[in-house]
């Protein structure tokens, strides 16, 4: 998915959205407000040491070592950023070849960063690269590494069952203080967390693509996530050089909840004949300073992905008009016109 943030355009992909499943355990209104009030009794912390005020196991946790599960584009990016900010990281994937490729990618990225950051001091640049690389190790066995981890960040395939299986296995092995976080963009954090017994130490940590470039991290708390856990993740995100925002476990968190309905409404305007697709795109580019218009953006994201997300959301929230079906989106997807990746969507691509 393409995110428009601070006037920049950034590529993100497929399932870059969170959905709120109907099965989510919910608190009553009064329990929620008691819970929120408790949350506001802020814990405090220094640097990346979290000092909780409650008896939570997260008390005084320093994120020194993290396990990142999934060495794809997101996992490798998270590992790179964590390693270059002085954390020890173990990157886990299903086979050595993927991990080799991930580390090669990290090295290439670090070289580019060093070239820019230390243009007049190449030896400092080399030191930066070597230090960061020394902080990265790899493994195909998450169970073996998780015992030494303060934080597990999962960035694997977008499949609820697979994510639940991973977390449920690791829950039995990880130390009590270890925080679990998912980078999911389309699944309910509550549902993923339900496979574990550490509901208070489970949250969403939603990075944006490409991770080393994008400043935002959405820190998502479920109704069971403890304030200590959230504080720890907010602080950790800052230590990574990111700007975190706090989100509830609702469809799309903040960014995608605003972005998706915006794109869909633009598609509906086009369907109603309120403007040509070109004019709608030009209007939003020149009128709002966005790097891409909404229909261009839909093609870039992939119309199949857009439909997947909207179907998912509308099934979970059938009464919400923002998630209603779009005729032209359905038609283009049925014709196999998924946008840029297939050569045609709202526009044709050579
Ligand atoms: P990807 O396909 O590039 O990488 C996923 C990696 O997970 C693969 O290398 C795969 O081998 C590995 N994997 C799968 N099952 C595994 C298992 N059981 N154990 C260990 N490794 C396993 O995917 P990605 O784009 O990096 O996305 C990962 C997660 O991040 C998804 O949940 C996605 O929704 C989310 N996300 C993606 C983006 C994006 O723009 N790509 C942005 C934000 C969030």
- DSSP line for 86-98: T-EEEEE-SSHHH
- What whole-number distance in Å separates Cα of residue 265 and Cα of residue 114? 42
- Report the b/e string of 286-320 with b at 16+ CB within 10 A: eeeebebbbbbbbbbbbbbbbbbbbbbbbebbeee
- Whether 206 is a known active-site residue: answer yes
Q: What angle do CA 207, 210, 211 make, to 5 degrees?
A: 40
- Whether 218 is a known active-site residue: answer yes
- What whole-number distance in Å separates Cα of residue 178 and Cα of residue 199? 12
Give pLDDT, residue 309. Answer: 80
The atom number, within ligand 1, closest to the CA of 76 reads: 26
- Whether 5 is a known active-site residue: answer no
Check: CB of residue 37 under 8 Å from CB of residue 330. Answer: no
- Whether 256 is a known active-site residue: answer yes
Is residue 165 in contact with ligand 1, taking CB distance under 6 Å? no
Distance from the alpha carbon of residue 190 to the mean position of ligand 1, in angstroms: 19
Distance from the alpha carbon of residue 229 to the mean position of ligand 1, in angstroms: 23
In terms of Cα–Cα distance, which of 60, 35, 30 is closest to 224? 35
Per-residue pLDDT 10s for the chain (350 aa) are 434 333 333 333 333 333 222 233 333 444 444 333 333 322 222 234 444 434 355 555 689 999 999 999 899 999 999 999 999 999 999 999 999 999 999 999 999 999 999 999 999 999 999 999 999 999 999 999 999 999 999 999 878 899 999 999 999 999 999 999 999 887 899 999 999 999 999 999 999 989 999 999 999 999 999 999 999 999 999 999 999 999 999 988 999 889 999 999 999 999 999 999 999 999 999 999 999 999 999 998 889 878 888 888 888 889 999 888 899 999 999 999 999 989 999 999 98
- What whole-number distance in Å separates Cα of residue 218 and Cα of residue 233? 10
Distance from the alpha carbon of residue 1 to the mean position of ligand 1, in angstroms: 14
Q: What is the pTM of this model?
A: 0.79
């Amino acid at each position: 998915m393409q995110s428009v943030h601070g006037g920049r355009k950034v590529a993100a992909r497929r399932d870059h959205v969170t959905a709120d499943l109907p099965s989510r355990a919910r608190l009553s209104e009064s329990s929620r407000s008691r819970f929120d009030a408790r949350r506001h009794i802020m814990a405090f912390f220094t640097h990346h040491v979290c000092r909780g005020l409650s008896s939570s196991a997260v008390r005084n946790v320093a994120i020194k070592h993290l396990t990142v599960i999934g060495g794809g584009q997101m996992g490798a990016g998270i590992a790179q950023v964590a390693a270059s900010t002085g954390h020890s990281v173990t990157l886990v994937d299903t086979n050595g070849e993927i991990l080799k490729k991930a580390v090669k990618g990290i090295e290439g990225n670090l070289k580019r960063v060093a070239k820019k950051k230390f243009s007049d001091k190449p030896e400092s640049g080399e030191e930066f690269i070597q230090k960061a690389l020394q902080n990265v190790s790899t493994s195909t066995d998450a169970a073996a590494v998780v015992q030494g981890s303060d934080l597990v960040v999962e960035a694997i395939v977008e499949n609820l069952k697979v994510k639940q299986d991973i977390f449920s296995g690791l829950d039995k092995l990880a130390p009590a203080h270890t925080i679990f976080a998912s980078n999911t963009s389309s699944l309910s954090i509550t549902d993923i967390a339900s496979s574990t017994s550490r509901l208070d130490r489970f949250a969403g940590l939603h990075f944006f693509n490409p991770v080393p470039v994008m400043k935002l991290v959405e820190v998502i708390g479920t109704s069971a996530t403890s304030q200590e856990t959230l504080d720890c993740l907010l602080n950790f995100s800052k230590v990574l050089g990111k700007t975190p925002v706090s989100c509830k476990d609702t469809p799309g968190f903040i960014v995608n909840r605003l972005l998706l309905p915006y794109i869909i409404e633009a598609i509906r305007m086009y369907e109603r004949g309120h403007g040509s697709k070109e004019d709608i795109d030009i209007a939003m580019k020149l009128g709002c300073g966005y790097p891409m218009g909404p229909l261009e953006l839909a093609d870039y994201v992939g119309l199949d992905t857009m439909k997947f997300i909207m179907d998912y959301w509308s099934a979970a929230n059938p009464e919400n008009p923002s998630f209603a079906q779009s005729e032209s989106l359905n038609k283009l997807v049925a014709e196999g016109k998924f946008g840029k990746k297939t050569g045609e969507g709202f526009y044709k691509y050579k």
